[in-house]
Each structure stands twice: as C-alpha cells, then as structure tokens.
Amino acid sequence: MRRFAFGTYLQTARPLVAAAFLGLIITFPPALAGEPPYPVMGAPPSPRVQATWNRYHDYQEATRLLREMAAKHPRLCRLESLGRSYQGREIWLLTVTERGGDADVLKPGFWLDAGIHANEIQATEVALYTAWFLLESYESNKKVHELLRDRVLYIVPMLSPDSRDAHLHTPQSTHTPRSGQVPFDDDRDGEVDEDGWDDLDGDGNITLMRIADPNGRYKPQPQYPEWLIPAEPDEPGQYRILGTEGYDNDGDGQINEDPPGGYDPNRNWPWQWQPQYVQAGAILYPLALPENRAAAEFILRHPNIVGAQSFHNFGGMILRGPGSEDSPYAPDDIQVFNALAAKGETMLPGYRYMVIHTDLYPVYGGELDWLYQMRGVFCFTTELFTPRDYFGRPVDRTISLREEQMREFDRYLLLGQGYVPWKEVNHPQYGKIEVGGAVKSWGRQPPSFMLEEECHRNMAFVLYHAEQMPLVRLGQVDVQHEPNGLLRVTAVVENRRLMPTRSAIDRQRKITPPDRVALEGAEKVILGLVSDSPFFENPREQKENPAELELEYVPGMAARYVRWYVEGHEKLGISVHSTKGGSDRRELDIP
Amino acid sequence: MPYPVSANDFFWSRGLRHVVLLSALSGIFAGIVLAGVATANAWDPREGFPDLDQIGQRMDALAAKSDYCRLEYLAKTRGHRPLALIKLGTGRVDQKPTVLLVAGADAEQFSSAAIALSLTEQVISDAESGGPWKENLDRYTLCLLPVASPDAYAKAWAAPRWETSRNSRPWDEDGDGRIDEDGPDDLDGDGQIVMMRIADAEGDWVEHPHDHRVMVHFEAGDVGRPRYRLISEGVDNDHDGTVNEDPPGGTAFNRNFPFDYPFFAGDAGPWQVSDPETQALADLVLHQGNIAAVVVLGLEDNMLKPWTPEASAEAQKVKKRILADDFVYFDPLAKFYRERTGFSQDAESRGEGGSFYAWAYFHAGCWAFAARTWVPASDTNQPGQTPSHETLEVSSDQEMAGEDVSESEGPKSAQDTNRDAAEDQQHVIREDSDKEGTAGKGANGGQAGDTNKDNDKRGAFQRAVLAFWESQGKEAFVPWRRYKHPDFPGREVEIGGFLPGAQWNPPPDLVDELAEKHAHFVAHLMESLPRLRIARSSLEPLGGGLYRLTVEVENVGRMPTVPKMGEVNGQPYPIRVELAGEGWELIQGFRKTLLDPLPGGGGRQELRWILRRRDDVSRLRVQITAQSPHVGKASKTIESSAERISENTW
C-alpha cells in the first residue's frame, strides 16, 4: 500500500523532489517498506512509536514518549497525571488495556511503578518499555492481545520525577539522589538543604576525595591502581580518603551533611511505618510525600489491583515482604509468591528470590508491604541488574570481589568509560586534594548494550505475573427440572490462574468484598448453596438473598460450585463478579 | 428510616466496653412498644453549648476585639468546614515557643470546644488587665484549636442525637463493597440513638449487682444471672445478618495518628494522617518546630491515671511507654492537674492508639498532656438509691411467655464485620435460642442485688455519672422500653441508655470553672518550660592576637530543653549557638554549633572557641546567640576588654 502510494507520488512529483525521496528510500529502505527485512524475535514488528531502548530518557523525553504512545494507541491506553510532584512535575500514569469493553476497574489490575528511588534509573526504562511493547504487540501477538483484553495495567514510570531529572541533569553519583526533592533539614540546624555535594572538578560526577598522606591507611590496588583499597595491617598506606566530593558550605565543620531532600520515599508507606529513630529516612509521617500520597490515593480507588511490581536497582533480586518480623505473610499467600518467583528466577538469570527482612535488612514503611498487607496485592520489588551480568560468573556478595569485576568490566567492555581518573583540585577546607572515581552512570545501571535485554526480560516477567492474576469464568452450567415445578441450576465458577481472587490476607482483613454469583430472572429463589466440591457433599446454605451467592474467594487453579432451586422463570442468566478477579456472565438455555 | 449519623458503638470499641449504662426507670413502660415518646428525657445535654456557627462567631469576635488574638485557617475538611486556629500572643507569635491546646476532637464531648473558648476569653481578659497571663503571653504563644474535627462536631448537632467522633469520609467499614449502608437508627423515634440490650444466655453483659441500670462485663461470679448482648439502637438495614456494622463515616481524629495506629479499625481511616484535619495538625506541629507542649481536652487521659515508665518497655526498639528520663518532669505536672481539677482517678478514658497527644510525645517529641476535661465529682460516687427493677421483670416474663423463643428466626449468624480484632462482636445477630436467660432473669437479677455488699467496683465511673446528674435533678438516660425488633423475632429487646453526651459533658454552668482550672494548668505548664540563659562567658587573651572564648549556656527552666523521647527521635530542634561580630576570625571551632539537650533546673554546657584578632582592630566584639524555636533565645555580647551584657531577648 504504502509503497504504491509513494510510487504514485513520485510519478507526479517534480524531478528534484523525486530525487530527494529517492534518496530517503535508499537511506532507510526498511522503514519505508513497512516490513523489516527479517523478523527479529522479541521486537514488535512495526511499531507506530519509534523508541530506542539502549539509552536513558529524562523526564521530558519520557513525557514525550508517553504522550506519543497515548496519541498513537488511543484504543489501548490513556495517559493521566496522578498529581504533581513537589517541584511541579506530573506523576504520569499510563493505563494500558483494550478499551471499549468492560470499564478498567472491572478488570483485574496490575500496578507497575518505577523510579521511586530516582537514581535507580533503568527502572523507568523497564516501565516505559513494558508499556511500549504491550501497545506495539497487541495486534501481532495473541498473548498480549488476550492480556490487554482481560486485564488492565497501571504503569507509573517515574514515581519521583523531580529526582530523576536531578540525577540526569545535575552532578550526582550512581547512588544519588535516592531521596525526592522535598526539602528536609537533615542535621536539624534550622537551615534546609544547605550543605550538599559539590562538583569540585566540574565534570558532572560526584566522586571521591583523597589526599596523599604517608599516614593514610589506603593504597592503590595493584591491578587497578586508580582503585584505593585498605593497606594491610602491618603495611604503611599512601592516601587518606576524605569522603564524597564536596565542601563545608555552611561553616559548621561538617561536609555534605544536609543535601537536597534527605529521606527515603520507600520508607514512607503506611504499613508498619515507624519514625526516624526506628527507620531512617521515614520522614515525618506516612504518605507525607505528595508523590506517594497521589499513588496511594489512586490505588485505594482501584481495588481491582491484585498484582504489582515496583522496580528498583540493583543486585538482581525478586523481593517479597515482610519488611519486618512483626507482620509475617499468610502461608497460603507465600505459596503463590513462591510459584511466581520461581518462574521469575528462570526468566531473569542471576536474579534471586528473597524475603526482605530475613535475607536483606529490616524495612518499615516499604511500599510493597503496604500493597500486600493493606491492599492484599501480590507484589514484588524487583532489584534490577545482577552482578552476573558482568561475566556470567556466579553471584558473589563480597563487595571487594564485586568491585574487582566492575573494574575488569570497565577495562575490557566499557573501555575505561566507567571511571574518572584522579585529578587535582583546590578544596576550601582541605587545600590541594584529588577527586576521582566512578561516573554517575556506572555502578547501578546496565550499560547501553545490556539495557534492552534487562527491559525485555523484566517486562516478560511482568507479563507472566499479570497473566497469573485471577480470572473468574463461568464453567459448566447445568439446569435440571425437579419435582413440583422447581428448577435446579448448578454452575461452576472457575479461576484457571495461579493467584486466588482474594489473597489470604485480603480475606483475613476484609480488604475487598467477597466474590458474588447472581442468578438473574428467577421469580423466586428457594434455596441457594455454595460448595467447594462438585458433588455438594457439605454445602453452605445462604439464607439471606440466596439469588446472589457470596463466595469467600476462588482459589488459584480451582473452582467453586453454586446451586439454586428456583420457582418460576422466563429467562435465566448467571453473572459472577469478583473485585480482583474480573467478571463473567451467561444466559442459560432451559431444557 | 434515614440515619444521617453513625453508631455510638464507636464508643464501645474504645476500651470503655467494660461497662455500659442502661436505664431501666420503672416497670411502667415495660412490655409496651412506644414510638416518638421522650417524656422523662426532654432534657438535651447539648443545651447551653455552642454549635459550630456560634463557635465561629465567638472566635471572630475575639479576634476583632483583642490585640492578643488572631485567627488562622489551617485546612478545609472533607465536609468543607474550616479548621480554625486561635493564636494568642504578642509580636511575632509564630517564632515564640508555643503551647498548643486542642479541643473538639472527640465530638461526643462537645463541651471541650466551649471550655477552650472560655479559656481563651479568660486568658485574654487576664492579660489585658495586667494579670499573670500578660507575662506568659509576652514570652510564649498559646495556640488553641477549639474544634479539631469540625465534621464530627457537626454530627453531634445533627438529628437524631448520637455519639460519634467520626468525620464525613465515606468508609466501607465491613468490607462488603457497600459504603455506609448500615448505621444506627432511631427506632423509637425519640430523636436520639441509644442502646439496645438483647436477652441472650451467651451475652457478654450483665446488670451491675447493685445497680440494675449499669451494665457490666460478665465475669465468673455472675453465673446464673441474666445475660445480655448490647448493641447500638438500629436494625439490620442491609440484611446481612449484622446490625449497625457500617455506619456513616468516617475517620475519628484521635484514631488517625501514626503512633500505635489501630490498623483496620473502622474509625481509623484508610491510613495514618489520611484526612485534612489530621494532616493539618501534624504539619503544624512538625513544620513550625516551635511547639513545646500540647494539651488535649478530650476523652483520652495520661494524667489522672498517669503515664508511667517501664524498664523492659524502654529497652524495646519501638518506644511505647514514657521514658524514665521524661517521667520525672512529666509526673509533677500530672499531679498538679489532678490536684487542681480534683477529678477522680476512676474516670474511664480512651486508649492512646492513633491519638494526637500520644503521637505528639512519641513521634513529634513534644511534651503532651491529655486532659480528661470533665469528670463528675467523686463525692457523688454512690447513688442514693436505684429505681426498682422488679415490676419490669415480672412484666418481661409475662410478655415473653406468649412467644415461642425456640422458633425464633433471626437473620443468619454473620461473619465478623468488625475490623478491630480487639472489639467484641456485639452487633452480630445470633440465632441460638435463649429461654433460660430471659425466663430466669427477674428472680436472679433481683436477688443478687439484695444479698451482697456493694463492693463491686465495676461500673464505678458510670454510677458516678448517674449520681452526679441525679444531684443536679436531671435524668441522664432514656427510659428503658421494650421494643419489638424485626431482626430479633421472639426475643426480648429493650431500648434505652444514656442520653447522648451525658456521660462526657458537664452542665453548661460548669464551663467557666473548668476553663479556669485548665487555664491554670496551662499557665503552670508554661512556667515549667525550659528557658535559656548565657550563664557565663569570658574572652581571655592568649597572646599573639589569639583569644579563648568560653561560653556556658544554661537552661534555667524546670523542664529539659528537649524531652528524652524527642532526643531519641531527633525531632525537636536542638539549641543552636551562633557567633557573630567583626574584627576576628575563628581558628578553632565553628560559627554554628548544635548543643546536646540541657537538663531541666540548671543544666549547662560549656563551649570554647579560639579567635584571632584582625590586625586592624584593637578590640574584639562577639555576639553569642543560643536559640531553639520551641525553647526561645538568649544572647549576649562580649568585648575583649570589658564584658557588656545585653538583655536577654525572647
């Protein structure tokens, strides 16, 4: 089609213009041809939105990309802002689902957020890629098509947008800023954010400061001399490390003690929130941050959310709660987490499934604990980028070994891009010193050639996780005539997915209502029964309002059985509705 | 029947469920189902107290009239009502150490707003006539929030009358997907929501052995006596088998703060600090940084039954008891409150989980005092006589005889719709029959009261309330009447109980006296707060243009500059000492130094600097300032040859 159109155009165009177009065709034949010359596995065949996944997008570029996705796929997504960040940026939410059928909130929902720790920048790319891949694969891929038909994904690529731009556009290290940009008086001296890092050599990276000192306790590492390691106990050192690049801006004798922000947005969620003395970074009270509060308000309004992943870096971990020992997970739910994570470990080589408080460290007020404990959501925090990515060697937790691999990787794969050599600068307090170390884009983030793979694999795990969200369907329905003009209607309510319609914690805390199966069109329902077994050996009778039977839940890969005895009918129909498991409806044929 | 307000079962969920008062005036009404009659109870405990409009008008008038008073609006509630703060003081009120007084949060105690207003008026008038408050208001700011939960307060004024602390946030308390669909109902049409008691052999409640009006928790010694279930007045509006399980609203102010937050309690909100009024208060305390102490007029208490420390609790990671270091300063103030008010320590109060005052101490690092506001005088503790119950008993039995209890068919046994695990399941309808309980009630109940000495401590507070109102010539509860309840066919159901508000509010003519007592407490608290002084300073020449500056900062107040709890959480600002001046540079030490907390009653810290005089000057002049927003400021100027002390400024 397209080629024909251009052909027609060329015939009527003036020669000069024609020559220009010819030039374009020669330069970009595949793009204009519409079909790639060879079907590459993994990528959407002919995306409407052109995007590159071996680079990082700042807030503006990500915004542009999201707007373009919304504009080019209006039937599949909607872009809205959850609210404004502290500095006034939009907190974008892309709702991805096939529109025109059931309203979003009637479909089982998956929440995906990224970049709550804004320095963990590839998280945002995973979120953007996931949205893009789903939108661009809907027409060509059956699995994606079904997913968007039956499920809704709520994707928030930048939960801390102010700090994303701070990381990308101001001098930082790979570790900063973890905080958002809400001012916070870290040292309680009455002045706010008055003493942050300073880029002494003006290279855009906040690195380390050192000074040559025969009484220092550090020495160059022999293989990688730019790297300082502790001298042996009986060996003289050569350098003193002076900390992170910066000076005493406020004249209180301390360096870098009150940088912008100064809290941890992922310690600010309601469940088991504890103040600063128990949980560093907790800030003033739960959801004190405008970004978190906006997200929480949205999630509260969307009880259909049943699965979630929150993207972070780094270390290659699939984390579940609890964050602290005082609120264990329900055993039934742990089985579901285990099954999901086992698949995740397969799909994400080098990633390990871990429990936060036993395998990592205690966390009070983490987002995933709130999602699970207070919303009943099956939620993982995914720590992107595993050290296994360097050389495929088994993951070693020892920091020095890890640093050695990073230096080795830098030498052979990054060709020395990863570190700034030591360089002399004048320091207002210390005099002549040197600064140097890792650039801000190296350490926690994959390099360009690994980023796309990280995006795709994690997207694939999200799709698996989302696919395993509950989905209620009416199975076999049986209608029989009984004596005295009664009709007996028996129906199977199935959930052929891994996750139950309500997690055990949801049922225990009554977070969402029970599932409901209604018989419509009967004049009088005499008896309503609910059973766990197809043979109704020991059913529960529902005396109140038997036409609408309550199911406490439908477990994963299981069914519930309902039966009615009814009097008088014209047309009968059955509908099932589950807040987190979707809904189904059927008209009955009465023999 | 519409029920625009929510259940008073809120109260039962709060630790006061051990005792319930029910009136059973006489047998005259027994067995008769009456509607729309409020004969003996025409009295309304709200009479003489201001509604929201009147409170607003009084606040405006105060601000217009007095230079000491200004108003500030902190937020707008979900119900679009302003949250108005009174600031009393002189000069730069926002920069002085401040005591914050909060009232009107527990809206069933509507009198606290009137007491706060009266206190405001008394303080202004005293200050304006040159009384002791003049000095207090020169030194400190007193902030008052007369109505901390305006939406809940408005409910207290709505019809039918009803006790609640919840605001207007819609909330699906029973988690059934329907919102606010089953609140209490004024079944007998008397304009108020009271209680229902249902005869039930497995009920958790019995009558007090010596006062049949007082319902107390069943104990082993009560075996054989008639038992009841107690729920608030209403029907099962949504036919789910449970009565009044999802009342209208909402978040209760003193259940919404992060300290020991009652997760999943129906009145606690979706999460901590979820509503505009609680968030505004948290922000006020945390952001302004100058609030030294909070005093809450409400139904909570930490002074009658005072907070006490506990060694093992102190060793815990999460602190839940006052720290021993703070107790020594806190306890004398609590004692002062008890002595000044004369309130009985029997007064029952609400728990601290989610409350503002406990949060203020444990998280915000302020001194916090929960003032119970009004407790009926203890000398009226023993009621002179209790109305006879005998006639009623006989009538009950006769009435019940006509119905076959065993065939009673109530709504099904419902699942637990109550989100607070600690709560009793009082409103679940049970279908098990209870012949024995109803039949045996009269004889047993009567005998128990006749044979034992009156030493059952249960219900002491309720009995005191009852006696107090009797001494005032008023009836504090609704006559007890039989009601044919649609959800409990064949069962004896009676409607009765306290007049909404009668347990928590004094007669209006006590307001000024209570305000005066509380003003006295606040003044005493202000006089105890930390206060800074530059106790000693010297500038010694060392030779070669070098000088040693030594300064000692002292806390001359009774209380420490920071409560230990505040120090633990790093919340209140430490004291900052700054040097200013010209003609010198520092060669040791820094212009800005933060101090460790100074103990009360003369705690001191010495600081030293080394200065070098500039060549072109002959004398050094250094200004030393020590300050913290919640403590105040002291400063001194020192010169190298002769020391000259400037006035301490505040």
The answer on B189 and B242 residing in a single domain is yes
Contact in structure between B234 and B485 (CB atoms under 8 Å) = no
Amino acid at the residue A116 = I
ipTM over 0.85: yes
Give pLDDT, residue A389: 87
Task: Please indicate whether residue A157 or residue B208 has the higher confidence score (pLDDT).
Answer: A157
The answer on A363 and A324 residing in a single domain is yes
Say whether B551 sits in a helix, a strand or coil: strand
Interface of A with B in 178-197 (CB under 8 A): 187-190
Q: Parallel, antiparallel, or unpaired: how do β-strands A90-96 and A228-230 relate?
A: unpaired
Helices B324-341 and B511-528: crossing angle in degrees, nearest 10, is 150
The chain A residue lying nearest B257, using CA atoms, is A285
Whether residues B592 and A251 touch (CB distance < 8 A) is answered with yes
Residue where a domain stops, chosen among B456, B479, B498: B498
Whichever domain contains B136, its CATH number is 3.40.630.10
How close is the nearest chain A Cα to the Cα of B176, in Å?
A: 4
The chain A residue lying nearest B414, using CA atoms, is A544
The answer on A109 and A217 residing in a single domain is no
Whether residues B271 and A286 touch (CB distance < 8 A) is answered with yes
Closest by CA position to B208, among listed B542, B458, B31, B422: B458
Give pLDDT, residue B441: 34
The answer on B291 and B212 residing in a single domain is no
Domain count, chain B: 3
The answer on B487 and B578 residing in a single domain is no
The answer on A323 and A417 residing in a single domain is no
Task: Give domain status of residue B627, yes or no.
Answer: yes
Give pLDDT, residue B424: 37
Q: Does A105 touch chain B (CB under 8 A)?
A: no
Where would I find the H helices in A239-366? 290-300, 331-347
The answer on B265 and B237 residing in a single domain is no
The answer on A522 and A480 residing in a single domain is yes
Q: Does A282 touch chain B (CB under 8 A)?
A: no
Residues of B with CB under 8 A from a CB of A: 172, 174-178, 239-241, 258, 261, 263-264, 270-274, 282, 286, 317-318, 362-363, 411-412, 417, 419, 568-571, 573-574, 576, 590-594, 629
Of A188, A270, A513, nearest to B574 by CB-CB distance is: A188
The chain B residue lying nearest A293, using CA atoms, is B274
Give pLDDT, residue A397: 67
Mean pLDDT for back-to-back runs of 10 residues, chain A (591 residues): 38 44 44 63 92 97 98 97 98 96 91 98 98 97 97 98 98 97 94 96 98 97 96 97 96 94 97 97 96 98 98 95 93 98 97 94 96 98 92 76 90 97 97 97 95 97 98 96 94 98 97 97 95 97 95 98 91 96 94 80
Whether residues B258 and A275 touch (CB distance < 8 A) is answered with yes
Task: Please indicate whether residue B273 or residue B32 has the higher confidence score (pLDDT).
Answer: B273
Dump pLDDT digits (tens) for B95-118.
Answer: 999 999 999 999 999 999 999 999
How close is the nearest chain B Cα to the Cα of A504, in Å?
A: 15
> CA-CA distances (angstroms) from residue B456 to A220, A468, B139, B390, B545?
81, 60, 50, 21, 81
The answer on A146 and A1 residing in a single domain is no
The answer on A355 and A296 residing in a single domain is yes
Task: Give domain status of residue A320, yes or no.
Answer: yes
The answer on A582 and A476 residing in a single domain is yes
Helices B111-128 and B511-528: crossing angle in degrees, nearest 10, is 60
Of A190, A284, A511, nearest to B175 by CB-CB distance is: A511
- Residue A276: list chain B partners with CB under 8 A: 569-571
The answer on B354 and B291 residing in a single domain is yes
- Residue B592: list chain A partners with CB under 8 A: 189, 250-252
Whether residues B592 and A252 touch (CB distance < 8 A) is answered with yes
The answer on B356 and B254 residing in a single domain is yes
The answer on B149 and B101 residing in a single domain is yes
Task: Give domain status of residue B456, yes or no.
Answer: yes
Task: Give domain status of residue A333, yes or no.
Answer: yes
The chain A residue lying nearest B284, using CA atoms, is A284
> CA-CA distances (angstroms) from residue A520 to A523, A546, A547, B365?
9, 11, 7, 59
Domain count, chain A: 4
Give pLDDT, residue A35: 59
Whether residues A510 and B629 touch (CB distance < 8 A) is answered with no
Q: Which domain holds residue A110?
A: 50-167+273-385
Contact in structure between B316 and B296 (CB atoms under 8 Å) = no
Whichever domain contains B617, its CATH number is 2.60.40.10
Dump pLDDT digits (tens) for B67-82.
Answer: 999 999 999 999 999 9
Give the burial string for B302-332 (b: 16+ CB within 10 Å, else e): bbbebbebeeeeeeeebbebbbebbbebbbe
How close is the nearest chain A Cα to the Cα of B153, in Å?
A: 25
Q: Does A551 touch chain B (CB under 8 A)?
A: no
How close is the nearest chain B Cα to the Cα of A182, in Å?
A: 13
In this prediction, residue B359 has a pLDDT band, given cuts at 50, 70 and 90, of: very high
Give pLDDT, residue A33: 47
For chains A and B, CB pairs below 8 A equal 91
Task: Give domain status of residue A292, yes or no.
Answer: yes
Whichever domain contains A160, its CATH number is 3.40.630.10
Phi and psi at residue A504, to the nearest 5°: -60, -35
Structure tokens at B533: 């002084």
The percentage of residues in chain B with a pLDDT greater than 70, rounded to a whole number, is 80
The answer on B354 and B214 residing in a single domain is no
For residues B153 and B190, what is the distance between their CA atoms, to the nearest angstrom? 21
Q: Does A361 touch chain B (CB under 8 A)?
A: no
For residues B158 and B250, what is the distance between their CA atoms, to the nearest angstrom? 16
Give the number of other CB atoms < 10 A from CB of residue B4. 11
Q: Is the pLDDT of residue B18 over 80?
A: no
Task: Give domain status of residue A463, yes or no.
Answer: no
Of B175, B241, B362, nearest to A544 by CB-CB distance is: B241
Give pLDDT, residue A80: 98
Q: Is the pLDDT of residue B643 over 70?
A: no
The answer on B351 and B264 residing in a single domain is yes
Task: Give domain status of residue B2, yes or no.
Answer: no
Q: Does A403 touch chain B (CB under 8 A)?
A: no
List, in sequence order, every beta strand (DSSP E) within A77-148. Answer: 77-84, 90-96, 109-114
Of B177, B239, B576, nearest to A579 by CB-CB distance is: B177
Report the residue of A285, A502, A508 to disrupt the B interface, i.e. the one with the largest count of B CBs within 10 Å.
A285
The chain A residue lying nearest B177, using CA atoms, is A513
Q: Is the pLDDT of residue B204 over 70?
A: yes
Report DSSP state, residue B27.
G
Report DSSP state, residue A50.
-
Whether residues A286 and B258 touch (CB distance < 8 A) is answered with yes
The answer on B210 and B132 residing in a single domain is no
Dump pLDDT digits (tens) for B266-281.
Answer: 999 999 999 999 999 9
Dump pLDDT digits (tens) for B42-55.
Answer: 689 999 999 999 99
Task: Give domain status of residue B437, yes or no.
Answer: yes
- Residue A296: list chain B partners with CB under 8 A: 271
The answer on B284 and B196 residing in a single domain is no
The sheet that has B291-297: what strands, in order across it? B69-76, B82-88, B141-145, B98-102, B291-297, B367-371
Task: Give domain status of residue A464, yes or no.
Answer: no
Of A271, A273, A544, nearest to B411 by CB-CB distance is: A544
Task: Give domain status of residue B347, yes or no.
Answer: yes
The answer on A197 and A163 residing in a single domain is no
Q: Which domain holds residue B620?
A: 532-644
H/E stretch holding B300 reads none
Dump pLDDT digits (tens) for B294-338.
Answer: 999 999 999 999 999 999 999 999 999 999 999 999 999 999 999
The answer on B239 and B331 residing in a single domain is no
Task: Give domain status of residue B164, yes or no.
Answer: no
Whether residues A190 and B363 touch (CB distance < 8 A) is answered with no
Task: Give domain status of residue A174, yes or no.
Answer: no
The answer on A67 and A201 residing in a single domain is no
Give pLDDT, residue B248: 86
The answer on A558 and A571 residing in a single domain is yes
pTM for this predicted structure: 0.88
Task: Give domain status of residue B338, yes or no.
Answer: yes
Task: Give domain status of residue A73, yes or no.
Answer: yes
Q: Does A544 touch chain B (CB under 8 A)?
A: yes
The answer on A342 and A280 residing in a single domain is yes
Task: Please indicate whether residue A496 or residue B481 has the higher confidence score (pLDDT).
Answer: A496
The answer on A528 and A568 residing in a single domain is yes
